[in-house]
Structure 1
C-alpha cells in the first residue's frame, strides 16, 4: 500500500492534500485530467489534510523566496512534520512536490520520499485551479489579494539591485546610441540632398554632416550672404579658408532659387538634426560615466562602446562574466560561426572585438592571435568588474598594457611579462589605492575633529589668560589632573 500527499505553496500559506485511491489513479493520468474539469469530481480525488497560513507579508516573502531556491524553512519543516504521517513497512508515504530541488531538500531534512513526476503535476494543476474552494473560509477574492501582494513584493525583491551598478542602463544607452548613429546619418543625407538644390557647392566645401547642417541653418538663402557672414561661418567651420570659400561659392553658385517656405522647412529640419547630434555627444558622455562605474576595467581595456556592446549582446554583465574567453571572442559573429560549422569552413576569428583598436593595429597574420588574447583579457576584466565590490580601473590598465606588450612581441619579438607577475603588481596597486582612500576618508573626518580641538584649545587659552589677568593661579594643577587620569587608565588597560 502506498499513500500520496501533495504539497502546494500558495501566496496565503502552505497546503497539504491527500490523494484518495492513489494506486488506481496513479496508473490512469488521463482520468485525473478529466476530473480536473469539474470541481465535484476533483473533490473526490483530493482531500485537504492541513493548511498553514502565513502570518505576515514578510514571512510569506521569506518562505516563497526559500521555496524558489529549494530551501526548506523551519515553518515548512514543522508543518510537514505534523501533517504528513511517517511511512511504515507495509504502508509507504510519498509527498508530491512541484520542484525537484525542493523535494530533495525535504527528503534530506525529514526523510520523506518525494516525487515530482507522473500524476503529481496534474494534481497540482487541479489544486491550483480549485484552491479557494478546497480550503474553508477562503474565497477567490482573498486569494487574488494575497497573490497580488506577494507577487509585487517578490518581483520587487528580485529586481532590487545596487542602483549605481545596474547594467540595464548600459544596454539601453548603447542601443540608443547605435540607433542615433543611423538616424543622424540618414537625416544628414536628407538635408544634403534637400539643400543642394539651392546651394550644391556647399557639399564639396563642407563634407562633415554635422557642420553641413549647421552651415545650412546659418546661411539659409545664399543670395543674402555678405562679408558680415564670414565671422559666423568661421565660428562654425573653425577655418577661415573654408568660410571664404563658402562665401565665394555662394556668389557664383549654379543652384536654383528657393522659396521662403522651403527654406523655413530646411531650417527646422536642420535644427532637429543638430539637436540630435548634440544629444548623441551627451549620450556618449553618459555611457562613459556608466561604464566607469559598472565595468571600469572592461572600459579601460577595449573602450566604452565596445565594452557596452559586449554587455548588451550577452544580456548583462553577469552573463558576460559567465562566458568563456572563446565565446567572448566570437560574440556578434554567431551567423558566421554556424555557417562555417554547417559548410565545414574556417570559423570566424572575431565578432564585436573587431571594432577594438588592437585588432586594427595588428598585422594580417596576427589578427586571429591578438583577438584570442584580447578575448582572454576581456573575460578576466569582466569577472573582476562583476564580482568585485569596489570599482577600480587598475586591473584594466594592467591588462591593456599586456595586450600592448603582446602586440610588440608579434612585431619585435620582445618577451612580455608573465600574467602572474602583472596580476601581483595590479593587486598591490589596488591595495594601495584602497588604503589611500581609507586614509583620505579618515583624514577627512579627522580634519573636522582637529578643527574642533583647536577651537577648544583656543577657548581654553583665552580662559587661562583671563584667570592670569585676574591673578588666579593653579593652572598647573588643572593641567596635571587629566594627565594623571590618563596614566591611571593606561595602568588599568595594562593590567
Structure 2
C-alpha cells in the first residue's frame, strides 16, 4: 500500500469504499495486490485503532479473507492466459487419445466375442458403432464403441483447435516447430515465459527427462534430443548428424520462444537462419563429412549448466 499517512494500510479507505458501493473484500484484495509500504508497521494495532477490526484476531481473519481472494484472482487470471489454455488443450488431447486407444482395445475384445468380423483399433470401433445391436449385451458393446469414436473425434477437434490457437500464442515457435510440437514444448516447460527463460540445452532435451536422469546417475549415455525428435529436421536427418540438428533446432526454438514472449512479432530471420543451418548439416551426407563444420549458432551448443531439464 502507498504510505500516504501514518495510519495507511491495506485496510485504509473502508469508508470511501462503502460510499462508492465497492465490496470490502474486493477493495482490500486490490490494495493488497497493487500496494506497497516503505517499511513494516504494527498493522494489526493500526487496524484496531482505525476501527477496521475489533481485535488483532479479527484483523488476521480479515487479512486472510482478503489475501485468499487476492490469490484466487491472480490464479484465475493466470490460468485463463492463452498459453495456459494451450497447455490444457494439448493435455486434454493426449488424454483423449490415450483413453480412446485403451477403450478401443476393450471394445475390440468384447466385439470379437459377439461379431465375427470385428476389427481392432479406432477404425474397428467405428465399424462396431455403426452396427444395429440385438440384445442387451450387444447394445452395451456398441455403446462402448460409440464412446471410443466420440473420444477419437474429440481428440481430432482438440488438435484442430491447437492448430488455430498456437500461432496466435507463439507465432514464431508455432511456425518453426509446428503448432502441436510448439504446444507440447510450452506444456513441458510450464508456460511460454518459463520456456523463453530456459537455455537451449534444456529445450533440446525437454521430454527426455527420464533418459537425462539416467545419464546423470551414470546408467545411460547423454540424450541428444527429447520431444523435438518428432520434428522433421531431427527425425529425417541421418543418425550421425542428429545431435547437430537437435542443437541447431533447439537453439532457434529457444530464440523463437523468447521473441514470442517478449515482443510477439514474427522474425523471418530466425526461420531463414534455421533453414540455412539445416541445409549445411544435411549437406554433410552428400560430402561424406561427419564432422561439425563450426558454422552453428552460438546458442546451438549447450554448456554443462544447460543439461539440467
Please, what TM-score do these two structures have when normalized by structure 2? Answer: 0.74
Alignment partner of 1:182 out of 90, 95, 98:
98
Q: Is the 8 Å Cα contact of residues 359 and 371 (structure 1) preserved in structure 2? A: yes
Q: 2:225 aligns with which of 330, 333, 350?
A: 350
Alignment match of 2:127 (pick from 201, 215, 220) = 215
- Aligned: 1:312 with 2:268: no
CA displacement at 1:315 relative to structure 2: 0.8
Summarize the Cα distance change of 1:405–1:62 in structure 2 as closer, same or farther, 3 Å threshold: farther
Residues 471-482 of structure 1 aligned to structure 2 (within 5 Å): none
Uncovered stretches (5+) of structure 2, i.e. residues with no partner: 18-26, 299-309
Deviation at 1:305, TM superposition (A): 2.2
1:118-197 aligned at under 5 Å gives the runs 131=44, 135-136=48-49, 137=51, 138-139=53-54, 140-141=57-58, 144-145=61-62, 148-149=65-66, 152-153=69-70, 156=73, 160=77, 166-197=82-113
Indicate whether 1:52 and 2:8 are aligned: yes
The 3-state SS of whatever aligns with 2:224 is coil
What is the aligned counterpart of 2:237 among 362, 366, 370?
362
Aligned to 1:198: 114
Superposed displacement of residue 210, structure 1: 2.7
Instruction: Note the C-alpha offset of 1:400.
Output: 5.3
SS at match of 2:222: coil
CA distance in 2, matches of 1:167, 1:331: 17
1:238-282 Cα deviation digits (max 9, x unpaired): xxxxxxxxxxxxxxxxxxxxx622221112111111111111111
Structure 2: distance between partners of 1:194 and 1:395: 55
C-alpha displacement of 1:155: 5.5
Aligned to 1:65: 34
CA-atom RMSD, angstroms? 3.8
Task: State the alpha-carbon separation in 2 of the partners of residues 292 and 286 from structure 1.
Answer: 11
- What is the CA–CA distance in structure 1 between the aligned matches of 2:30 and 2:58, rounded to whole Å? 20
Call closer, same or farther: CA 1:162–1:180 in 2, change over 3 Å: closer
Q: How does 1:11-90 map to 2 (within 5 A)?
A: 51-53=7-9, 54-55=12-13, 61=30, 65=34, 67=36, 76=37
Q: Of 412, 421, 442, which aligns to 2:286?
A: 412
* Greater relative CO, 1 or 2 (CA 8 Å, sep 6+): 2
Classify the secondary structure of the residue corresponding to 1:365.
helix
Candidates 244, 247, 252, aligned match of 1:377: 252
1:306 shift after superposition: 1.9
Q: Identify the residue that residue 276 of structure 1 maps to in structure 2.
A: 151
Deviation at 1:404, TM superposition (A): 4.2
The 2-side partners of 1:339 and 1:419 are apart by 28
Contact 2:204–2:247, Cα closer than 8 Å, also in 1: yes
More strand by share: 1
Q: What per-residue deviation string (whole Å, max 9, x for no partner) do you get for residues 293-313 of structure 1?
A: 101221222222222121111
CA distance 1:60–1:287, shift in 2 (3 Å): closer
- Counterpart of 2:207 in structure 1 is 332
Contact 2:78 2:84 survives alignment (8 Å): no
Say if 1:296 and 1:393, in contact at 8 Å, map to a contact too.
Answer: no
Greater gyration radius: 1
Which residue is equivalent to 1:255?
none
Summarize the Cα distance change of 1:265–1:62 in structure 2 as closer, same or farther, 3 Å threshold.
closer
